Structure 1
Amino acid sequence: MKIFKTWLAIVGLLAAFILVAPAPAQAAPFCGITWGSLAKTAGTASSASITNVRAGQHSCFDRLVVDINGPASGYTVGYVSAVHRQGSGAVVPLRGGAFLSVNVDAVTYNVNTGAATYIPANPNELINTTGYATFRQVAYAGSFEGITTLGLGVRARLPFRALVLAGPGTSTRFVIDVAHRW
């Protein structure tokens, strides 16, 4: 009988512990990201023009979107020690622990008329990245001979992917997603 009472007491203490034990902390979402951090290149040159640069936040990554008026598929994106302005070669000052050089095979002007299609209000701060998990700064580095260069300052060298999305209509969106973590 004494063993039975001892056993009941132990079971009762365990039940009480389970009922009052704190819940585990909410874990970060599992994203299954397998992108890697090596340079990515694809597509071919085009005569399309950039109309906007914007960004968004997702649960697993920050996203940079370049809106292009027309079909475009060419790009080269990779981590570099510094992003350089087209023409002068001057270093683009960027915040962050790592820098992505983003080269899009599209320009910020109409190739037939020379009229600007994208004029950033502040070339050094294309996007307000306050509150972003990974992005620290997005800067315009120039557009020349069919290529536009952007500098993307990020928290650290993290996995990223680059892709081209068709639409809406005849437009194209060039997308770079940078993961929040490995």
Structure 2
Amino acid sequence: MSRRAAQRASATAAVLASLLLAGCQGDDDPDAEGPTPTAPATSTSPGTTETPTDETSDDTEEPTGSFPPWRSDPSDQPPADAGAGQEITDVRTGRHDGFDRVVLDLTGDEVALGWFARLVDEPAEAASGRPVEVEGERFLELGIAGIDWTTEAPERYDGSTVTGQGTEVVTEVVHGVLFEGQQQIFVGLRQDTEYRVFALDEPARIVIDVRHP
């Protein structure tokens, strides 16, 4: 048997064992919405992205409880600690079963930053209103709040655009301005759809999922 075939056989056995165990334990919340992603968001260098592989990653995990609901209206989450000095260090993209994922890696183990999110027709800079070049027909605007914008941090992401290679809906992720402690980010979309945003700890990450139409 080849090494790849052996790996697939081992993975299949593990899935069957998990299903049998789950059947024995029961489902505490059968109506909870929380599809299990089938591929991780993939790590990138600034301005690049990689095609998802079959390797597993903790970016497939759920937030505490279950996934938040899909939505098309604005959402927000205030910072847990606006003075924590937390920074965005990397931006990654990946395609999963039913959705595309954008991951914002942060410094530290727990998410101290907050955010707001909304779908917009045209991307524009905060304060100035000047247009921002983003590929797409619809755009998810994010404001990551609580960053110490008065200091230069060497670990802070350099703002390079990340192309959503291998994704179905996400075209690219573009940084806008950092203004009064809030980093503006645009996720370009090929068409209108729904989204959800949540935090993951250890390490700290803000996760943005965009639903496949």
Contact 1:37 1:157 in 2 (8 A): no
Larger radius of gyration: 1
Is 1:49–2:87 an aligned residue pair? yes
Mind listing any 5+ residue stretches in structure 1 that lack a counterpart?
1-30
> Contact conserved, 2:169 with 2:212, CA < 8 A, in 1?
yes
Q: TM-score, normalised by structure 1?
A: 0.69
Distance across 1 between alignment mates of 2:177 and 2:151: 18
Report matched runs for 1:1-182 at 5 Å: 34-44=69-79, 46=82, 47-70=85-108, 71-86=111-126, 88-107=128-147, 113-116=151-154, 117-120=156-159, 122=160, 126-168=161-203, 172-181=204-213
TM-score (norm 2): 0.59
Match of 2:28 in 1: none
In the TM superposition, residue 43 of structure 1 has moved relative to its aligned partner by: 2.5
Q: Alpha-carbon deviation of 1:146?
A: 1.1
Q: Which residue of 1 aligns with 2:4?
A: none
Work out whether residues 86 and 113 of structure 2, in 8 Å CA contact, stay in contact via their aligned partners in 1: no
Asked whether the 8 Å contact 1:68–1:106 carries over to 2, the reply is no
CA spacing shift, 1:113–1:76, aligned 2, 3 Å: closer
Higher normalized strand content (fraction of residues): 1
Say whether the 8 Å CA contact 2:149–2:180 is kept in structure 1. Answer: no
In the TM superposition, residue 111 of structure 1 has moved relative to its aligned partner by 5.5
The offset of 1:166, in angstroms, is 1.1
Q: Any conservation in 2 of the 1:72–1:105 contact (CA below 8 Å)?
A: no
Deviation at 1:150, TM superposition (A): 0.6
| Runs (5+) with no aligned partner, structure 2 | 1-34, 37-66
